[in-house]
Amino acid sequence: MKAGDLLEERYRLVGELGRGGFGVVWEAYDERIGRQVAVKTLRHQGAGSDATDLARLRREVEVLARLVHPNIVLVFDVGEFDADGERFSYIVMELLNGLTLKQALLAGRPQLLQALDWAGQLCAALAAAHAHDVIHRDIKPENIMFAAPDRKLLKVLDFGIAQIGDNRDALTTVGSVIGSTPYLAPERWRGEPGTVRSDLYAVGCVLYEMLTGARPFTATSTYNLMVQHVDEEPPHPGALPAELADLLLALLAKDPADRPADAAEVGRLLQQVSGAVRDLRRQADAAFQAATEGRPAEAVEQLRPLIEKFALAFGPDDGRTLRTCHDLAVALARLDQQVEAYCLLSELLPVAVGALGEDHPDVEAIERRLARTPVPERPCPPGLLDALLGTVNRTGS
């Protein structure tokens, strides 16, 4: 097969999208419907691994026919054909034009709210699959893809090794380890069948990687990776909001019974975290308003703990965190705590310049406020900003 070929008098092959042991995925044009599609093809070669690949292709069709959900790739057609004297099977699916999550993460960690949105979409897809007795068994960043370059809509792919109910066919045999080792639950390493909670363990691994920039377990040999997943606790997931860190550790619990009950519950917990993060700016605005209305003591009391929360949510050098530090300095000055205001501003200024640039309006605002604040008679004690950032600095993040 080659670009330009017409498959089944309907699908005009445009070019290869990917190639692997499973066969070839093509971009194609459906001339009957008039739309771009993806066509996954697999050559029939008889026994062994090729027969297993064919069985997995058929399994994927069987599973995707059950599932219609915005966060799960759609299947449109299935069939077999002959080409160049050989027999092929194929599935026609919706064409996704975005990156895989693995590719997206190579550019760095997403902002927290974006990561929480992606995580919620992943959980929605799994909740739909689990409701139809489908266990994915291979959740990993390579099997999560964005529908378009804007990275707004996420889709779960590759149900080729999915388990349907308590199925015990050749693809789900007890005692065999099937799946991607960096994301495999302890019970799966022991050869036990997949469950809703083993999928959730894989979700925990993916979210850990997305939120911290590293996998929870990083051994380079398969044996040592197995030992880590089965016996070792993951490192505490860095500087994250406490409820989010707790959720990650719960998803990565060794005992499936200690994990959340289902993907819908995880989705609800993620929504709660997202709501709390979104509420931070409202709280900061309310505190700053208190300072402007002649209640600086109230503003200071509210802003001090907010700084650490902003740093945990967005990072210590994020503009939102830096603006909240500046708001605190303003409130301190209005409370006539000029020394602490000056010392905080003097520590804040170089951090803001490094993070935002010399010409940024927030940097200029800090410079103007610092110029209006009396210089203390004694040198400022170090570490004021670090103390406000709290957990972020203590974890080294």
Same domain, 86 and 139: no
Catalytic residue among 30, 53, 117, 138: 138
- Cα 236 → chain centroid: 17
CATH number of domain containing 55: 3.30.200.20
CA-based torsion, 62, 63, 69, 71: positive or negative: negative
In order of 1, 26, 77, 79, 338, the CA distances from 5 in angstroms are 7, 11, 18, 16, 76
Listed in sequence order, the residues at least 6 apart from 223 whose beta carbon sits closer than 8 Å to its beta carbon are: none
Residue 368 belongs to some domain of the structure: yes
CA distances (Å), origin 230, targets 156, 174, 206, 256, 363: 26, 18, 17, 12, 49
Same domain assignment for residues 116 and 80: no
pLDDT score, position 69: 93
In this predicted structure, what is the pLDDT of residue 394? 47
What per-residue confidence (pLDDT) applies to 207? 97
Considering the domain architecture, whether residues 46 and 145 belong to the same structural domain is answered as no
Domain identity same for 105 and 83: no
Domain boundary among 75, 94, 113: 94
In this structure, the answer to whether residues 74 and 148 fall within a common structural domain is no
Q: What CATH code is carried by the domain that includes residue 193?
A: 1.10.510.10
In a domain, 387, yes or no: yes
Spatial distance between the Cα atoms of 313 and 375, rounded to a whole number of angstroms: 33
Residues belonging to the chain: 397
301 and 385 co-located in one domain = yes
Note whether residue 270 is domain-resident: no
- 230 and 122 in a common domain: yes
Q: Which two tokens stand for residue 18?
A: 């990917």
What gap in Å lies between CA 211 and CA 117, rounded to an integer?
A: 12
Nearest CA to 251 out of 232, 240, 265, 271 is that of 265
pLDDT number for residue 156: 95
Mean pLDDT in each 10-residue stretch from start to end of the chain (397 residues)? Answer: 89 88 86 94 68 74 85 90 83 93 93 94 96 92 95 91 69 58 94 92 96 93 95 88 93 97 96 92 90 92 92 87 94 94 95 94 94 93 89 51
Domain range holding 120? 101-261
Residue 360: which CATH number? Answer: 1.25.40.10
- In-domain check, residue 43: yes
**Cβ neighbour number for residue 230 with a 10 Å cutoff:** 16
The residues, ordered by sequence, that sit 6+ positions from 387 with a Cβ below 8 Å of its Cβ are none
Q: Are residues 35 and 14 in the same domain?
A: yes
What gap in Å lies between CA 96 and CA 33, rounded to an integer? 17
129/257 same-domain check: yes
Whether residue 354 lies inside any domain: the answer is yes
pLDDT of residue 174: 46
Which of 54, 78, 94 is at the close of a domain?
A: 94
In-domain check, residue 172 = yes
> Do residues 305 and 251 both lie within one domain?
no
Return the pLDDT at 176. 52
**Is 138 among the residues known to form the active site?**
yes
Q: Domain count for the chain, please give it.
A: 3
Instruction: Indicate whether 351 and 244 sit together in one domain.
Output: no
pLDDT at position 306, please?
93
- Structural domain includes residue 271: no
Q: What is the pTM of this model?
A: 0.83
Domain assignment present for 1: no
User: For residue 21, what pLDDT is reported?
Assistant: 61
- Output the pLDDT for position 391: 63
* Whether residues 109 and 159 fall in one domain: yes
